[in-house]
Structure 1
Amino acid sequence: MASMKLDQGSNNHGETSLSDVKPDNDIGWKSKLKLPKRDGRIRTTDVTNTKGNEFEDFCLKRDLLMGVFEKGWEKPSPIQEASIPIALTGRDILARAKNGTGKTGAYAIPILERCDSSRDEVQALVIVPTRELALQTSQICIELSKHIGCKCMVTTGGTNLKDDILRLYEPVHVIIATPGRILDLMNKNLVKIGKCGILVLDEADKLLSQDFKGMLDNIINHLPNDRQILLYSATFPLTVEQFMRKHLSNPYEINLMEELTLKGVTQYYAFVQEKQKVHCLNTLFSKLQITQSIIFCNSTQRVELLAKKITELGYSCFYIHAKMNQQSRNRVFHDFREGHCRNLVCSDLFTRGIDIQAVNVVINFDFPRHAETYLHRIGRSGRYGHLGIALNLITYDDRFALHKIESELGTEIKPIPKSIDKSLYVPEFHMEGDPSEESNNQNCQDGAIAP
């Protein structure tokens, strides 16, 4: 943004002048920030194909910009560039963008900018489908808002309601919640959102599915009539269209999904028998350079059985699924994020929005039946334009689902080669300015890694 040199103080009527905005008359304010170490990995056009805007171009509060830069966010991604200025005007938004391209920042920045910390009332409500995503989103909001005095609270099922009640005695400006818990708090009259002007639905397609039927309508009934609603998702089924017609007013539509899968995720399949899967997984572990991996199963029972097998093979492994108690889920989620374990076995609980930058390998131990599930699973790798691989163990019964998903997503899932090029997924092989290995395209004849 062009530097503004006007410095005339207040005018004769005591009104705010241009100098009070102080865009950069504090020379060197950026040099005083506590910036994290720069991530030098190359990024794909999923996050770099922008119009060239900077965060300063959005006329954000200086204190919010400090939080943005100290979070390590250097430039807005395409979804942030398209969404932030529109959201700041108060208009409803229907935004579709790929997993891992910065959707959280696209709504967190404008709601925090519009938050007035001097008002002791809830001003924004963010609804997400899973407890883990709620914790992750609240942590991002807390980090972004650390200089602006905006108080963010997370509330989810599976936690002590008494703790939430005590927290609500203090000022809360932004609430991040799962639908059931926030509805419970509203119905008990423990949280008042009659003056809450912004509602965000993250992973909107999941929130509007049968799993949460009717909950969103009930929540919206507690909001003021002039509220702003922001919907973000990678996929938008018909339920979203019905919701949009019912609750949104002339929404601004953003669609950055010309192609569905992330450019940075290379996809392979290995054709195996069911009884060979664990042996094949063991081979993959021995051949791949895994920073962290997420391994998906189609049932909670298989999650636990596979985690036990992996541990018996001598590899570090956590597991997580929806039937675990919340305290255990929180501990596993936290410890895996912190890098305390290399491999995580999970159910589809973990497909929504979970952002762990170190994950460079996703393995579908059980192949999903639906393209939407597949899309969200492999999106756990290659976060924010970085590179990663997705490996699918395909049985004879999965062959039709494989072709169906390839067709629906317009993507290619290749037979797995004997040797996977490290530059496709190993961070130190694709740092900016570093030479990459030549791609090795030699495929196995039967499409499986040789045991």
Structure 2
Amino acid sequence: MTSSFHTYNLPDYQLQALAKAGIAAPTPIQEQAIPLIAAGRDVVGKSRTGTGKTLAYLLPQLQRIDVTKRALQVLILAPTRELTMQIEGAIKEYTAGSEIRALALVGGANIDRQIERLKEKPHIVVGTPGRVKDILGRKKMKMHEVRSITIDEVDQMLELGFLQDVEAVLKSAMRDRQLLFFSATMSEEAKKIAKLWMRDPAFLETEAGAMIGQIQHVWFSTGKEDKPDTLRRLVRAYDVNRAMVFVNETKGLWWLVQELRKLGLSAEGLHGEAAKIQREQAMSGFRDGKYQLLVTTDVAARGLDVEGVTHVFHYDPAIDPEHYLHRAGRTGRGTQSGVSVSIVTPDEKFLIKKFEKSLALRIFSKGLEQGKIVSRRPGTAPKPAARTAPKKGKSKQAKGKKR
């Protein structure tokens, strides 16, 4: 491994930002990608969550920006508003002290205000495909100086149906632009598109083994009606400070938020159908420690990096191994450790074996006894976690209430 970022001749402002962030050496994906991107190669980068993919594509692109030109030179597309704003935050962090100007373009925000800010001629734009396409359609953003375009979380772009929007954006750029795909997973469809749209792309894949190192994977069995209280008990037993709770449907999300509040937990909800201001308030409140739990759909399962998330709870089992991988990756980021906790009913237990086999990892069976986490012997099914009433003064869970 390269011992230092100084190897890449990064500008002083980037080296200072890296030192301030406590990042001393590049990760494997950064070590492989940075020289190739700096040299202008098209790159397809696959690396598990929390391995520094954003800096892998961001640092070399920032390095190549010509600040003497007041024109857009770098475009980054992300599938969600939350990820877009997170990338914008990283850009600001790693351009502090430079003359590089950046702008985020997301749906739900005032488009006229965004168009007005484009008149300031930012060097780099990060945005969601739909909003970028809309602004290009109004001929309010010029692409003739764009040297490099990055598609972040490309698999999620395809999953959410953004392929046509992305293609429209790419067609507006010069033919000799650099194109970068990055994702924690890389489907065969994404690889085929890369070969169609790219010129001699370099395919990078690091740490192929699923998230075994820093994340402990465990599961607990409970009855369907007992899930909220089991979650409460687990939060107490693990002494959770900040955790994400994943559900599969928006309909059940707000019900669960209310139940958790009744049980004395600080919780807020986040889903893709919420208004922009609601999503921003939920994320900022969670980042600032206002909420102990963020109950969310898979809209927050990819790319988002919230400092201090020690646990991920799968209240509803992930719909497939890939979604499990992305959810679990919200904890154990970088060199930190974390716990991925699945709360399953007897009818859902088969999914644990499915995920273990597909992801080549071990998900350990655990139980709750007198408020403490206990291990179960291999091959023995845990008893459903017994339901206990919340402490006096807390509201009791409504029995039989349906989601």
TM-score by structure 2 length? Answer: 0.91
AA aligned opposite 1:373: H
| Residues 381-408 of structure 1, C-alpha deviations (whole Å, 9 max, x = no match) | 1011311101111123323322222111
Q: Please say if residues 84 and 109 of structure 1, whose CA atoms lie closer than 8 Å, have aligned partners that are also in contact.
A: yes
Deviates more, 1:358-367 or 1:268-277: 268-277
Instruction: Please report how far the alpha carbon of residue 441 of structure 1 lies from its aligned counterpart in structure 2 after TM superposition.
Output: 4.8
Determine the C-alpha separation between the residues in 1 that align with 2:369 and 2:176.
Answer: 57
* Secondary structure of the structure 2 residue equivalent to 1:389: strand
Determine the C-alpha separation between the residues in 2 that align with 1:200 and 1:270.
Answer: 40
Q: Cα–Cα, structure 1 residues 64 and 216, in superposed 2: closer, same or farther, change >3 Å? A: same
Determine the C-alpha separation between the residues in 2 that align with 1:96 and 1:357.
Answer: 22
Corresponding residue pairs, total: 384
AA aligned opposite 1:87: I
Task: Pick one of 67, 71, 89 that aligns with 1:121.
Answer: 71
| Corresponding position: 1:83 with 2:36 | no
Q: Match of 1:270?
A: 220
| Corresponding position: 1:179 with 2:115 | no
AA aligned opposite 1:77: T
Q: Match of 1:380?
A: 330
| Corresponding position: 1:446 with 2:382 | yes
Q: Match of 1:242?
A: 192
Determine the C-alpha separation between the residues in 2 that align with 1:54 and 1:107.
Answer: 17
Q: Please say if residues 200 and 230 of structure 1, whose CA atoms lie closer than 8 Å, have aligned partners that are also in contact.
A: yes
Determine the C-alpha separation between the residues in 2 that align with 1:98 and 1:211.
Answer: 23
Equivalences for residues 2-401 of structure 1 within 5 A: 51-209=1-159, 211-401=161-351
Determine the C-alpha separation between the residues in 2 that align with 1:447 and 1:219.
Answer: 53
Determine the C-alpha separation between the residues in 2 that align with 1:274 and 1:418.
Answer: 16
* Secondary structure of the structure 2 residue equivalent to 1:359: coil
AA aligned opposite 1:155: L
Instruction: Please report how far the alpha carbon of residue 266 of structure 1 lies from its aligned counterpart in structure 2 after TM superposition.
Output: 0.6
Q: Please say if residues 318 and 341 of structure 1, whose CA atoms lie closer than 8 Å, have aligned partners that are also in contact.
A: yes
Determine the C-alpha separation between the residues in 1 that align with 2:183 and 2:207.
Answer: 10
Instruction: Please report how far the alpha carbon of residue 89 of structure 1 lies from its aligned counterpart in structure 2 after TM superposition.
Output: 0.3
Determine the C-alpha separation between the residues in 2 that align with 1:214 and 1:125.
Answer: 17
* Secondary structure of the structure 1 residue equivalent to 2:310: strand
* Secondary structure of the structure 1 residue equivalent to 2:265: coil
Deviates more, 1:392-401 or 1:125-134: 392-401
| Residues 191-225 of structure 1, C-alpha deviations (whole Å, 9 max, x = no match) | 11122010111111111335213112111101111
Unaligned runs of 5+ in 2: 388-403
Determine the C-alpha separation between the residues in 1 that align with 2:376 and 2:346.
Answer: 23
Determine the C-alpha separation between the residues in 2 that align with 1:156 and 1:278.
Answer: 34
Deviates more, 1:135-144 or 1:279-288: 279-288
Instruction: Please report how far the alpha carbon of residue 253 of structure 1 lies from its aligned counterpart in structure 2 after TM superposition.
Output: 1.5
Deviates more, 1:173-182 or 1:162-171: 162-171
Q: Cα–Cα, structure 1 residues 313 and 441, in superposed 2: closer, same or farther, change >3 Å? A: closer
AA aligned opposite 2:382: D
Q: Please say if residues 130 and 352 of structure 1, whose CA atoms lie closer than 8 Å, have aligned partners that are also in contact.
A: no
Instruction: Please report how far the alpha carbon of residue 150 of structure 1 lies from its aligned counterpart in structure 2 after TM superposition.
Output: 0.5
* Secondary structure of the structure 2 residue equivalent to 1:175: strand
Identity %: 27
AA aligned opposite 2:107: G
Q: Please say if residues 195 and 201 of structure 2, whose CA atoms lie closer than 8 Å, have aligned partners that are also in contact.
A: no
Determine the C-alpha separation between the residues in 2 that align with 1:419 and 1:363.
Answer: 19
Q: Please say if residues 267 and 412 of structure 1, whose CA atoms lie closer than 8 Å, have aligned partners that are also in contact.
A: yes
Instruction: Please report how far the alpha carbon of residue 331 of structure 1 lies from its aligned counterpart in structure 2 after TM superposition.
Output: 1.1
Instruction: Please report how far the alpha carbon of residue 93 of structure 1 lies from its aligned counterpart in structure 2 after TM superposition.
Output: 0.7
Q: Cα–Cα, structure 1 residues 204 and 273, in superposed 2: closer, same or farther, change >3 Å? A: same
AA aligned opposite 1:93: V
Deviates more, 1:253-262 or 1:124-133: 253-262
Q: Please say if residues 270 and 415 of structure 1, whose CA atoms lie closer than 8 Å, have aligned partners that are also in contact.
A: yes
Q: Please say if residues 219 and 341 of structure 2, whose CA atoms lie closer than 8 Å, have aligned partners that are also in contact.
A: yes
AA aligned opposite 2:289: G
AA aligned opposite 2:223: Q
AA aligned opposite 2:226: Q
Instruction: Please report how far the alpha carbon of residue 235 of structure 1 lies from its aligned counterpart in structure 2 after TM superposition.
Output: 0.8
TM-score by structure 1 length? Answer: 0.82
Instruction: Please report how far the alpha carbon of residue 442 of structure 1 lies from its aligned counterpart in structure 2 after TM superposition.
Output: 5.6
CA RMSD of aligned residues (A): 1.9
Determine the C-alpha separation between the residues in 2 that align with 1:331 and 1:72.
Answer: 28
Q: Please say if residues 208 and 216 of structure 1, whose CA atoms lie closer than 8 Å, have aligned partners that are also in contact.
A: no
Q: Please say if residues 78 and 129 of structure 2, whose CA atoms lie closer than 8 Å, have aligned partners that are also in contact.
A: yes
